[in-house]
Structure 1
């Protein structure tokens, strides 16, 4: 699904000002929720709107917010800053069966600027996802099982990395945020579940039971 989001109208000065306001507040900022226009904008590519020191400050702040939530990724627009920056990290302990079925392996922390991904091959996988900007909901999303990510590291170095399994899902979810796409845009709408219902009924390693009972996606 290509993004048809309109580019943000934030100037470099306004991005810098928004960052400074958040930093000067002295507390961890709240995560912006769905309905806020910043989540539906094409974020501005990073091209020096913040100094190197400020960029590292923002990355540290985003990592703290992500850990507090807790989550495995956070994009700058989720703090109200329409900048193509996201942080990712997955160090949660998960059940061995869940990890095996979902291809979930620990993802060491990294930050990415101006990311773009492309599928590797044609294999896809469908699992439930949630989002820190859509509290209280879960939905099944079909995504490429493996992707190639091109991005810029915080030190300005161009990078390319391949991801598979759950790591590929995190990479796609966070990159989408920077292009005005929420996971519900890609979700199987009949799968949408309140988080309590999801935990009670559908929190199996795979989506087979939910697929059957809620009537979404054909049997593989």
Structure 2
């Protein structure tokens, strides 16, 4: 099932998501729907809040972004970033929930994360580079943080009209959106 993507301005995107209790929902079915939704929108990551679900889960598949990430297709349930290290580096990020806007965001180059997969197996893994960045971006979503929160006050003010238009659904996308202020 392909969900509409919740866009900027919806309160679910600014809320810290809740842990998922094992057995409380079919995480495998939800993960399959999230991958289908992400691929339909040409994304490389999708967090549950982006489909209106305030739960700590996200999916990633970095292959479309970098051929070296062809084996980087994962489901993260109740993740916790244990450590971020290395130099902060800039990379131009975009977001399915903020269509048409991209900006440089500085993030640490390495992370260590603990999470459960869709079979409820626990993992603790280290990532760096683009893989770490994709995880950090999606992890921010379950913490109620958007990439625009990293921008300077001036840059945010310059984007204010565009962001308001996104909230009203006045933006072109190749995927269905759910805009909080659409009339």
TM bucket, shorter chain: 0.7 to 0.9
CA change 1:49–1:37 in 2 (3 A) is farther
Out of 56, 66, 69, the residue aligned to residue 41 of structure 2 is 69
Contact in 1 for aligned 2:80/2:114 (Cα 8 Å):
yes
4+ residue runs of structure 1 moved beyond 4 angstroms? 188-194
Within 5 Å, give how 1:101-120 maps onto structure 2. 105-120=69-84
Listed as ranges, the gaps of 5+ residues in structure 1 are 1-26, 195-220
Q: TM-score, normalised by structure 1?
A: 0.66
Q: TM-score, normalised by structure 2?
A: 0.78
Residue in 2 aligned with 1:205?
none
**Pair 1:39 & 2:13 matched:** yes
Aligned alpha-carbon RMSD (Å): 2.2
Higher strand share: 2
Listed as ranges, the gaps of 5+ residues in structure 2 are 160-183
CA change 1:127–1:188 in 2 (3 A) is farther
- 1:144 and 1:164 map into 2 onto residues whose CA distance is 9
Which entry has the higher C-alpha Rg, 1 or 2? 1
Higher relative contact order (CA 8 A, sep 6+): 2
Higher helix share: 1
Out of 16, 19, 22, the residue aligned to residue 48 of structure 1 is 22
Q: How many residues align?
A: 158
Shift of 1:154: 1.7
Contact in 1 for aligned 2:44/2:65 (Cα 8 Å):
no
CA change 1:145–1:36 in 2 (3 A) is same
- 2:145 and 2:101 map into 1 onto residues whose CA distance is 16
